[in-house]
Amino acid sequence: MTAIPQERRVVTAIPGPKSVELQARRLAAVAAGVGSTLPVFTARAGGGIIEDVDGNRLIDFGSGIAVTSVGASAEAVVRRASAQLANFTHTCFMVTPYEGYVEVCEQLAELTPGDHAKKSALFNSGAEAVENAVKIARAYTRRTAVVVFDHGYHGRTNLTMGMTAKNMPYKQGFGPFAPEVHRVPVAYGYRWPTGAENAGCRGVRAGHRRDHQADRRGQRRRDRHRAGARRGRLHRAYQGLPPGDRAVREGQRHRVRRGRDPVRLLPYRPVVRLRGRGHRPGPDHHRQGHRRMVCRCPP
Amino acid sequence: MTGRAEIMDAAHAGGLGGTYGGNPVACAGALGAIETMRELDLNGKAKRIEEVMKGRLAEMRAKLPNGDIIGDIRGRGAMIAIELVKSGTKDPNPEAAGALAKACHAEGVMVLTCGTYGNVLRFLPPLVIGEDLLNEGLDVIEQAFGTL
């Protein structure tokens, strides 16, 4: 299946001298925001082994983040992709289509669960697929809001970044985020206060958040504080008031809510009551990093 | 992206797509991957990897002197993770996750860290990995606990 011997072999320090050299070039040429778990440069990979430029063979427990399930140089993949490369590399399916696209969609219909009629569309990345899943769901349901599970990762594009739970490294400083994303606490059995078998039950949501998400809540509070301070400055500027005016600041929230958004110069959407359990946050809340399903700020 | 035909057809013609999405080389590669998965019954292999990994990790938790920092062993198929905590608590222990990953890397085993609290060590071996190699990787992880 692969020419690379399936054995672990460490012949230099990790990373080795050639990798260190390449890492220096990388630091000079590649943007710092793109990280690597381990700066060991790959020469070839296959089966369960990654061989680096220094001749070390690492056991691969990463699969390029769960991508190369069939190994990084599976015979059938290499054979079919090579043949395709020799025929043509690109036409754009939207310009002149080709059989491979159709065949992949047929295979997906056969392999995915359910015996109902299925169709597929192919995209460049997971994030792009998630973006399109939201577009399709919106077109089908004619509803705009998206509910995501807490702790989930969805991608790094603007919408999927907003859907992703973790702030660092995915979101910090990259806002504003797409609106209409609501996060529900679920899918973390180990840290569910009443045990994994009760994960998702409604009664303990508040406690769950309080106990286990303090760090993220703190981050959001800091984000909100910054957004609020900025809004306050803008609001005072809008009214022609001096910066830091205490009386204005105290009354500000009320007046700003009734008035117009000084940033966007649009009327605020009125607060909507939701079955007496608080109210649904308007779009301005999202801009402040406010993501509760049911808002707790004063009505 | 695959879904029910009536839902997938909801978007108007021309509403989906992209210049490069589903490019022919990627499609050929995908068909090769599907062929391999069928041929080698990699679904079955994934279940076997889960059995081996969860068994070995549970053994480490019970046997190792600092095994109680493994708060949780979870995952499905060949996507397995351990959540590391401070001994006797559920407090996240990202330092241990970082140190274990570093020790594994130095010994030639590629592992990844993740989690909201950065305290999860995750293992995503390719489904084609040999069982000897899988066990050797787990041996290295076991030894890494001794370096903490």
> Do B119 and B97 contact (CB within 8 A), yes or no?
yes
Burial degree of A118 (CB within 10 A; 0-12, 13-18, 19+): buried
Global pTM reads 0.78
Q: Is the pLDDT of residue A220 over 50?
A: yes
What is the C-alpha to C-alpha distance for residues A170 and A154, in angstroms, rounded to an integer?
Answer: 10
Tell me what the mean pLDDT of segment A93-109 comes to. Answer: 98
What is the C-alpha to C-alpha distance for residues A171 and B6, in angstroms, rounded to an integer?
Answer: 34
Q: Is the pLDDT of residue A19 over 50?
A: yes
Beta pairing partners, A234: none
> Do B25 and A81 contact (CB within 8 A), yes or no?
yes
Q: Is the pLDDT of residue A291 over 50?
A: no
Interface of A with B in 102-141 (CB under 8 A): 103-105, 107-109, 111-112, 114, 116-124, 128-129, 132-133, 135-137, 139-140
Tell me what the mean pLDDT of segment B25-38 comes to. Answer: 98
- Alpha carbons within 13 angstroms on the beta-carbon side of residue B48 total 15
Tell me what the mean pLDDT of segment B89-108 comes to. Answer: 97
Question: Pick from A13, A80, A123: which is nearest to B28 by CB?
Answer: A80
- The pLDDT confidence band at residue A218, using thresholds 50, 70 and 90, is low
Question: Pick from B16, B104, B105: which is nearest to A132 by CB?
Answer: B16
> Do A164 and A175 contact (CB within 8 A), yes or no?
no
pLDDT of residue A225: 64
**In sequence order, what are the residues at sequence separation of 6 or more whose Cβ sits closer than 8 angstroms to the Cβ of residue A254?**
none
Residues in chain B closer than 8 A to A80 (CB atoms): 28-29, 31-32, 35
Tell me what the mean pLDDT of segment A1-13 comes to. Answer: 88
- The pLDDT confidence band at residue A188, using thresholds 50, 70 and 90, is confident
Tell me what the mean pLDDT of segment A206-213 comes to. Answer: 47
Cα A166 → chain centroid: 8
Q: State whether ipTM is beyond 0.85.
A: yes
pLDDT of residue A261: 45
Beta pairing partners, A267: A260
pLDDT tens digits for range B61-82 = 999 999 999 999 999 999 999 9
- The pLDDT confidence band at residue A13, using thresholds 50, 70 and 90, is very high
